Amino acid sequence: MADDVFSQLRPITADEWPAFTEAMHAVFAEDPPADFAERPSPVAELDRSLALWDGDRVAATAGIYSRTLTVPGAVVPCAGVTWVTVAPTHRRRGVLTAIMRRQLTELHEQQREPVAGLWAAEYPIYGRFGYAPATVEARFSGRTERLRLRPDVDLGTGRVEQVSVEEYRPAAVAVHRAVHRFVPGNMARDERWWDRQLRDDPSQRKGATARRYLLHREADGTVTGYATYRVTDSWTDTGEPDGTLIVEEVRATSTPAYAALWQLLLSVDLVRTLKYQASSPDDPLRWLVTDGRALHSTPVDGLWVRLVDVDRALATRRYPTPIDLVLEVRDPFCPWNDGRWRLSGHPAGGYCGRTDRDPDIVLGIEELSAAYLGGVSLATLQAAGRVTEVSPGAVTLASAAFGWPVTPWCPDSF
């Protein structure tokens, strides 16, 4: 059945978008925004969509966004897999398998993105197709009366201003462009993605205020940081304020700018609770406050990564310590990756190519994909029985080489 489905999948036209998005949102139990239901969003790429039709109804959907992903020491084109749904009437027929195979086969045969990424609605689904969680999203919360900056924190000589979205946008674009290339898991944002990032539909606010915008300016007027947040209004039975500060994004090019932005955020009037739902698990905020225990963190899986072409993906990233090992990769879903690869890398570059040498490490594509951004240790995967060491010490060497000083983090959902 999966082979038949593979041939029946096809991209949609603009006229078919309403039926496509209706089917997609039905599976997610959502009502699409009115304008999204009528016409494709500006970031939609219909030529990279897939639909399975059952008469005049769409029974399955999928799509790809053309993104650029920061990896250790470099950036790489990344296929942002999205819109993946299968109607309840068509499950257990090999439809999802056909979608995944079609996407990955086309990426490989057309020599497009060497890496794919997605956000998994449910954890158990995508591992069987070679995807693995490669970043962690930290969901911070705490009572603001306990969250105060240490007295020795350098706040610099700049100032934080609340601004309009029109003033905020060009300044934030410049700061983001300066910082995102240094954090594995971050993605570039063009104008279309900034439009999406800054969309503030009242129906999507869930009882919070409109988004508020902050910029940090140095004494000479240079913008070195930005933040966005919302507030939900709440009061106790005794009339005391009990609002919640919902922080959406905080980025800066210097520590003083970052600290100054947080100093303002933690002093917003009528607020008693902080929520920061999409932070790096290694956010410096924990080291800026006087009471690190007051900042509670709930880690959840973030961006899932899949190496489409092992050689191209591994040759693109950098390695902080030298490595020259043979990896025997097992990838039954994408057989072009199956086999032995010699990986030679260092801080300035890398090489990966086929070899008939004996392997030093044996692992699956899922494990290799998990380690790709430097946030998951191959030694940890070995301890879980998911990586096999053939040459003594190879896993230790590879773990150091695949690591990276900056914790991977993806603040861009899609």
What mean pLDDT is predicted for residues 180-202? 96
Tell me whether residue 293 is annotated as binding.
no
Predicted local distance difference test score (pLDDT) of residue 31: 83
Tokens of 124: 């158990």
Least confident range from 4-8, 57-61, 311-315: namely: 4-8
Predicted local distance difference test score (pLDDT) of residue 33: 76
Catalytic residue among 276, 319, 372, 414: 414
Tell me whether residue 173 is annotated as binding.
no
Q: Are strands 212-217 and 349-354 parallel, antiparallel or unpaired?
A: unpaired
SS3 category, 129: helix
What mean pLDDT is predicted for residues 128-148? 97
- pLDDT tens track for 301-342: 999 999 999 999 999 999 999 999 999 999 999 999 999 999
DSSP sequence for 305-353: EEESSHHHHHHHS--SS-EEEEEEEE-SSSGGG-EEEEEEEETTEEEEE
Tell me whether residue 243 is annotated as binding.
no
Is pLDDT above 70 for 124?
yes
SS3 category, 50: strand
Is pLDDT above 90 for 6?
no
Tell me whether residue 94 is annotated as binding.
yes
- pLDDT tens track for 111-120: 999 999 999 9
Catalytic residue among 20, 65, 126, 372: 126
In one-letter notation, the amino acid at residue 273 is T
State the CATH class of domain 138-301. alpha beta
Q: Are strands 361-364 and 387-389 parallel, antiparallel or unpaired?
A: antiparallel
SS3 category, 244: strand
414 is catalytic: yes
- pLDDT tens track for 18-27: 999 999 999 9
pLDDT band for position 37 (50/70/90)? confident
In one-letter notation, the amino acid at residue 150 is R
Query: Whole-angstrom Cα distance, residue 89 to residue 102?
Result: 21
Predicted local distance difference test score (pLDDT) of residue 2: 60
Tokens of 71: 């990896």
Predicted local distance difference test score (pLDDT) of residue 217: 98
Quickly count helices (H) and strands (E) in the chain: 12, 18
pLDDT band for position 208 (50/70/90)? very high
- Residue 71 CA, chain-centre distance (Å), reads 12
Domain ranges of the chain: 2-113, 138-301, 310-402
Is the pTM higher than 0.85? The answer reads yes
Q: Which CATH architecture is the domain 2-113 placed in?
A: 3-Layer(aba) Sandwich (3.40)
Buried b (16+ CB within 10 A) or exposed e, 349-371: ebebeeeeeebbbbbbbbbbbbb
Q: Which CATH architecture is the domain 310-402 placed in?
A: 2-Layer Sandwich (3.30)
Q: Crossing angle for the helix pair 165-179 and 191-198, nearest 10 degrees?
A: 120
Are the CB atoms for 409 and 383 separated by under 8 Å? no
Predicted local distance difference test score (pLDDT) of residue 3: 61
6 is catalytic: no
Predicted local distance difference test score (pLDDT) of residue 1: 52
pLDDT band for position 160 (50/70/90)? very high
Predicted local distance difference test score (pLDDT) of residue 86: 97
- pLDDT tens track for 212-245: 999 999 999 999 999 999 999 999 999 999 999 9
Q: Are strands 115-118 and 74-86 parallel, antiparallel or unpaired?
A: parallel
DSSP 289: B
Tell me whether residue 115 is annotated as binding.
no
Percentage with pLDDT > 70 across the chain: 99
Residue 104: closest CA among 372, 305, 275: 305
Q: Do domains 2-113 and 138-301 have the same CATH topology?
A: yes
